[in-house]
Structure formats: structure tokens, C-alpha cells
């Protein structure tokens, strides 16, 4: 099965070649600024930055859209709840609930924040191979005194890598399962309860069994979290640092 | 009354760098009551093709019709039952009965017919009625697969498509599944089995299609298939070919151990063994 959800898309753009640490730091800066932004004007700047990066990355917008699409329903629910449950100036009534202007504004801001976070995250995973994300993360965590907490930066990085790995995998299993149940006559619109039941029960089983299988496979190949060498050894170059600096200034200036 | 696949091409992720052509100009038809084998290496487009037969995927170009109706829509899903790979993963019911009844129930069948369909499907696969109140998760791997197959058979589709149904079954279960499928096809249900391992299936199939990297490269009878020297030829047929090339006058299109055995004993003049 071909899923485009948070998947690496091969390429050779500037963004692809950038050091993963720079991209992760950039992602953190952007996330913080997204959550600090409280006006539509600021989010418009975030959008501008996103489209600039998208242009540089030469990733097709369709890939970003595909990553966001499964979340759209969830975001719509957030928007509607905000619309009706915030106090403020009423716009109209439905079933004894006020739809307020403040609610709409707040809801739009909240959904846009989630949307942009997802879009930046999918841009990061689309331009960086999962193993490079892991290495970048591991290098960045290494100076922290994690060992005193009984965990190493390698453990953490492996956990992140596995989570990234599981997103497309679980999505693939889900599509496979959905195909099987639809073939057995499941009508998701007419029978939503049956849909949830017949999809979630097997999905939970698949998630647990495959996590266990991965754990067994890793252990049987002598996985140890202690210290692992890596296939990639990213070296920070001047252009990486320059890119990070330029990006930070851009974000600070605009947002 | 047939499934008609006309010049179907299908691409995954069109318009992205990950675009791949999974099927390229496939045309074939599956007639009523026919037992068809679709073979091909892993990644040759078999699973993509069967997702077109009941309209889960729509072709990028070309068309698929079932009994003259376009292949998407719920009507066709009741006509064409599909069993996918790893069918044990689709089980969810609290009891085996509930799970097997899911398909026919969705297609509008109610008791007492529903109960009869479920019991018939289980019986056809050699599963006892005592299995009905048990949780499907407590069964063994092979039994889970059979229950999942029963879940497709219980809807009594006109066409039944099975993706690698024999994997994970032991010899006994394989035999009972194959004879159940043969019985169905003799009663007028079309059976399409998709598999990259053909040795158990050539003796029961009436027609074979071979896919290679998304294209249909062969279609014909099992005997023609074996003479075509496909990459996945059963060991028996390698043996028969080798014997022929060394001057023994055996048929090179014998499938299965029994057939080959009687051929060899015939050529060697061991009459006693043939009568067995």
C-alpha cells in the first residue's frame, strides 16, 4: 500500500540537504511561534514562511495536503465546539446554544495552529529520512544529563524513530482493514457504530501485536540502548548555521 | 454474466515523485462458474487488480464492469466477495457467529436465513457448529483464517476473490478449502484465486492469468501455462520437462503428484502402480 502520510519524499533540494539538527531546531522555533501567535496577521506570516519553505523544498503541495487530510474532521469538530461554547457576542442560535463571534475567532485560530503544526511536521518528515531525524535528535539530546534519569539519548531517539516508523505502517494496516470490512458490506455512513466497532477492535490488536513483534525483532538482533554508532554522521557546515540564523530572524521579524 | 476488465491502468500517488504505475492496460474477463488463477511475482500488481474487481479502487483509465454494472457501489460488493491477505486480522466479533454474520447482515440478510448462511459457510470449510459461540481470538491461526474465509462465503457472492488463501494453512485445511471452492464453482459461483504459489492450484484452476510488473503477460489453460515455462513453475513440472529432455515420453503438462506419478509409471511400464 502506498501511503503518503508523513513519509519521506526523495529529493535533492536545499531543504533536503540541510543538517537534520538545523531542521529540528527550526521546527521547534516555528512551533513555539505558532503557539505564541494570537492574531490572524501573525498566522498569515507563518503561512507565508511555510509557502516559502515549500517552494524551496520542491515538495508537491499534494503530499502536505494528504498528511493533513485525515485530521480535517477532528479539526472541524474543534472549530464547531469553539464556535458554540465560547462566551461572547452571539451571532445566531441553534438548539439553545449561542454561536459567538469570539468563539469563531478563537476556533479559527486554534484550528489554524494545529493545521500549521501538522504542515510543518510533514514538511520536516518529507525532506528528512527517518534515520536522519533520529540521528539529529540523538545528537541534540546527547549533552543533556539523561542518564541520571535512567534513559539515554539513544533510547529516546529510537523511541522517536519507532513512532515515526509506525505512523505510515499503522495507516497502511488501517487502509487494508478498511478495504476488507468495506468488501464485507460495511457502509461507514449508514452504520457509523458498526464502522467504529469493526475497525477499532482489530486495529488495537494489530497495533499491540506489531509493537511486540518489533520489540522481539530488535531484541533478537541484540538491540541495546546504551550507545549506538550511526550510518550517518552529520557535520554542521557554515551554510547550515547560516540557514538556521536566517530562518530564526525571519520568524522573529514576521511573527 | 461476467466480470469485464477493459484496458485498465492504475497509478498510485499520481502527480507526485512517488507516482508508480501498478497496472498497465489490463484486459480480462471472468465468466460465471469459472475457476480462475491469477499468478505473478510479489509486486506484480495482483493485489491492486483485485481491489478493482469490487470497486475499492477506481482505474486511472479503462473500466471494470460486473454483470454489466460499473464496479463501484454497494451492489457490486454483494456480488463480488473479496478475501484479502492476512484475513485473520479482520476478525472483530465477540463470537465466531457474529463475525461470520457481519457480511451477510450488512447485505440485508436477517434470521433465520442469516443463521443458515453462517452455518452452511462454516460447514463447507469443515468447521463444526460448536465453534459459533467461541471468541474468534481464542482460535489457532489456521482456524482464524478459515473463519475469515467463512465470513466471505456466508454472503454467498456470485464471484469470490481470494488473495493468497492457502498461506498459513496446513495440508488438511488446504485440501478442504480447495474442495469447497471447487464445489462452489461447479454450482455456478466464479472463483478467482490470487497467489504467487501455483503448485496447489494448477490442478483445480480452469484458466490462468500471469501478471508481470503490472502487465498481463499470459492467459490460458493450466496446461498452456506450464508449457509457457513461467518463472514460478511447480517443481513437478521441472521434473517432467527434465525427463522429456532425457528421452522419456512423459506429458510435460501433468500437474500434481498423482498425475505425474501415473505418467512416470505409465512410461516405465509399471502397470501395477497405475491401478492403485
pLDDT tens-place string over residues A114-130:
899 989 988 888 888 88
Nearest C-alpha neighbor of A62 from the set B117, B191, B14, B51: B14
Determine the pLDDT at residue B272: 52
Minimal C-alpha gap between B209 and chain A (Å) = 22
**Chain A interface, best mutation among B106, B137, B138, B150, by max A CB count within 10 A:** B106
Chain B contact set for A198 (CB, 8 A): 92, 102
**E strand intervals along chain A:** 90-94, 97-100
Q: For position A255, what pLDDT does the model report?
A: 66
Of A180, A189, A194, A200, which to mutate for an interface test with B (greatest number of B Cβ within 10 Å)?
A: A180
The rounded percent of chain A whose pLDDT value lies above 70 is 89
Banded model confidence at residue B41, pLDDT cuts 50, 70, 90: confident
Per-residue confidence (pLDDT) for residue A109, from 0 to 100: 87
CB of A201 less than 8 A from some CB of B: yes
Q: Do A185 and B82 touch (CB under 8 A)?
A: no
CA quadruple A233, A235, A239, A243: dihedral positive or negative?
positive
- Euclidean distance between CA atoms A32 and A126, whole angstroms: 21
With an 8 Å Cβ cutoff, are A184 and B103 in contact? yes
Interface test with chain B among A183, A201, A206, A210, by most B beta carbons within 10 Å: A183
Q: Determine what percent of chain A is predicted with pLDDT higher than 90.
A: 11
Interface touch B18/A198, C-beta < 8 Å? no
Positive/negative CA dihedral, B172, B126, B150, B144: negative
Chain B residues within 8 A of A206 when measuring between CB atoms: 89
- Our CA-based measurement puts residue A51 at a distance from the nearest CA of chain B, in whole angstroms, of 18
* Average pLDDT taken over every residue of chain B: 88
pLDDT band at residue B46 using 50, 70 and 90 as cut-offs: very high
pLDDT tens digits, residue range B159-185? 999 999 998 888 888 888 999 999 999
Lowest mean pLDDT among A103-117, A222-236, B43-57: A222-236
Asked if A182 lies within 8 A of B87 by C-beta distance, the reply is: no
B22 with B58: CB under 8 angstroms? no
Residue A1 has pLDDT above 50, yes or no: no
Provide the sign of the torsion angle of the four alpha carbons B83, B88, B89, B95, taken in this order.
positive
Of B16, B56, B78, the CB nearest to A4: B16
Q: What is the per-residue pLDDT across B104-134, written as a single tens digit (0 to 9) for each?
A: 998 888 888 999 999 999 999 888 889 999 9
Per residue in A196-239, pLDDT (tens digit) is 889 999 999 999 999 999 999 988 988 876 666 666 677 777 77
Cell readout for B8 is 485498465
**What pLDDT score was predicted for residue B274?**
46
Which long-range CB contacts under 8 A does A227-232 form with residues at least 24 apart?
A227/A152, A227/A154, A228/A154, A228/A158, A230/A131, A230/A134, A230/A135, A230/A138, A231/A131, A232/A131, A232/A132, A232/A135
> B137: distance to nearest CA of chain A, Å?
10
The per-residue pLDDT for A2 is 46
**Most confident of the following: A75-79, B137-141, B235-239:** B137-141
Please compute the mean of the pLDDT values over residues A186-190 and round it to a whole number. Answer: 83
Query: Are A9 and B17 in contact (CB < 8 Å)?
Result: yes
pLDDT tens for residues B194-212?
A: 998 888 888 889 999 999 9
CA distance A27 to chain B (A): 24
Q: Which pLDDT score is estimated for A97?
A: 67
Residues 72-91, chain A, touching B (beta carbon < 8 A) = none
pLDDT score recorded for residue A108 = 87
Residue A203's pLDDT is 92
Kindly give, in sequence order, each residue whose CB lies less than 8 Å from that of residue B215, ignoring residues fewer than 6 positions away.
B24, B25, B26
Q: Do B82 and A205 touch (CB under 8 A)?
A: no
Residues 141-160, chain A, touching B (beta carbon < 8 A): none
More confident residue, A97 or B7: B7
Q: Is B92 in contact with A186 (Cβ distance < 8 A)?
A: no
The answer, yes or no, to whether residue A242 has pLDDT greater than 90, is no
Mean confidence (pLDDT) of chain A: 82
Using a CB–CB cutoff of 8 Å, tell me whether B86 touches chain A.
yes
Any A CB within 8 A of B74 CB? yes
Across A7-11, A140-144, B191-195, the highest mean pLDDT is recorded for B191-195
pLDDT, one tens digit per residue, over B89-105 is: 899 999 999 999 999 99
Greater confidence (A62 vs B85) lies with B85
- Give A12-53 pLDDT, tens digit per residue: 888 888 888 888 888 888 888 888 888 888 888 888 888 888
Are B52 and B64 within 8 A, CB to CB? yes
Mutate to test the interface with A, among B10, B11, B15, B16 (most CBs of A within 10 A): B16
Give contacts of B87 with chain A, Cβ < 8 Å: 180
Quote the pLDDT of residue A58.
81
What sign does the CA torsion over A179, A183, A184, A190 have?
positive
Amino acid at each position: 500500500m502506498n501511503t503518503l502520510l508523513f513519509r519521506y519524499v526523495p529529493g535533492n533540494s536545499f531543504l533536503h540537504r540541510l543538517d537534520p539538527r538545523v531542521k529540528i531546531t527550526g521546527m521547534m522555533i516555528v512551533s513555539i511561534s505558532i503557539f505564541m501567535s494570537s492574531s490572524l496577521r501573525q498566522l498569515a506570516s507563518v503561512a507565508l514562511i511555510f509557502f516559502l519553505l515549500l517552494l524551496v523544498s520542491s515538495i508537491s503541495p499534494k503530499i502536505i495536503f494528504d498528511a493533513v487530510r485525515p485530521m480535517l474532521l477532528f479539526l472541524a469538530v474543534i472549530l464547531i465546539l469553539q464556535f458554540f461554547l465560547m462566551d461572547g457576542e452571539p451571532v445566531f442560535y441553534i438548539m439553545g446554544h449561542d454561536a459567538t463571534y469570539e468563539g469563531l475567532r478563537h476556533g479559527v485560530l486554534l484550528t489554524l495552529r494545529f493545521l500549521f503544526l501538522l504542515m510543518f511536521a510533514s514538511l520536516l518528515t518529507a525532506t528528512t529520512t527517518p534515520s536522519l531525524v533520529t540521528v539529529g535528535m540523538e545528537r541534540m539530546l546527547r549533552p543533556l544529563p539523561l542518564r541520571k534519569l535512567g534513559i539515554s539519548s539513544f533510547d529516546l531517539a529510537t523511541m522517536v524513530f519507532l513512532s515515526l516508523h509506525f505512523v505510515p505502517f499503522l495507516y497502511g494496516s488501517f487502509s487494508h482493514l478498511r478495504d476488507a470490512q468495506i468488501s464485507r458490506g460495511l457502509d461507514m455512513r449508514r452504520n457509523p457504530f458498526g464502522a467504529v466497532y469493526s475497525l477499532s477492535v482489530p486495529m488495537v490488536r494489530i497495533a499491540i501485536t506489531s509493537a511486540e513483534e518489533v520489540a522481539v525483532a530488535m531484541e533478537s538482533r541484540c538491540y541495546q540502548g546504551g550507545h549506538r554508532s550511526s550510518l550517518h554522521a552529520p557535520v554542521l557546515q557554515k551554510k547550515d548555521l547560516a540557514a538556521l540564523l536566517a530562518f530564526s530572524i525571519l520568524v522573529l521579524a514576521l511573527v | 454474466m461476467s466480470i469485464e476488465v477493459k484496458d485498465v491502468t492504475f497509478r498510485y500517488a499520481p502527480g507526485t515523485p512517488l507516482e508508480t504505475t501498478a497496472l498497465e492496460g489490463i484486459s480480462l474477463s471472468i465468466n460465471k462458474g469459472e475457476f480462475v488463477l491469477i499468478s505473478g511475482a510479489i509486486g506484480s500488481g495482483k493485489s491492486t487488480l483485485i481491489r478493482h474487481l469490487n470497486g475499492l479502487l477506481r482505474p486511472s483509465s479503462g473500466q471494470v464492469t460486473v454483470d454489466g454494472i460499473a464496479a463501484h457501489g454497494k451492489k457490486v460488493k454483494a456480488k463480488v466477495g473479496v478475501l484479502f491477505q492476512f484475513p485473520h486480522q479482520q476478525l472483530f466479533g465477540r463470537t465466531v457467529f457474529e463475525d461470520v454474520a457481519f457480511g451477510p447482515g450488512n447485505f440485508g440478510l436477517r434470521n433465520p436465513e442469516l443463521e443458515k448462511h453462517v452455518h452452511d459457510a462454516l460447514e463447507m470449510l469443515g468447521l463444526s457448529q460448536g465453534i459459533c459461540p467461541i471468541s474468534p481470538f481464542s482460535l489457532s491461526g489456521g482456524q482464524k483464517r478459515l473463519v475469515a474465509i467463512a465470513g466471505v462465503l456466508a454472503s454467498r457472492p456470485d464471484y469470490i476473490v481470494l488473495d493468497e488463501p492457502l498461506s498459513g494453512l496446513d495440508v488438511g485445511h488446504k485440501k478442504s478449502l480447495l474442495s469447497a471452492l471447487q464445489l462452489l464453482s461447479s454450482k455456478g459461483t466464479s472463483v478467482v484465486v490470487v497467489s504467487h504459489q501455483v503448485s496447489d492450484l494448477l490442478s483445480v484452476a480452469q484458466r490462468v492469468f500471469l501478471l508481470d510488473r503490472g502487465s498481463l503477460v499470459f492467459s490460458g489453460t493450466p496446461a498452456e501455462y506450464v508449457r509457457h515455462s513461467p518463472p514460478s513453475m511447480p517443481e513437478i513440472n521441472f521434473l517432467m520437462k527434465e525427463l522429456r529432455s532425457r528421452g522419456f515420453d512423459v506429458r510435460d503438462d501433468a500437474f500434481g503428484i498423482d498425475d505425474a506419478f501415473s505418467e512416470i509409471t505409465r512410461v516405465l511400464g509399471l502397470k501395477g502402480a497405475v491401478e492403485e
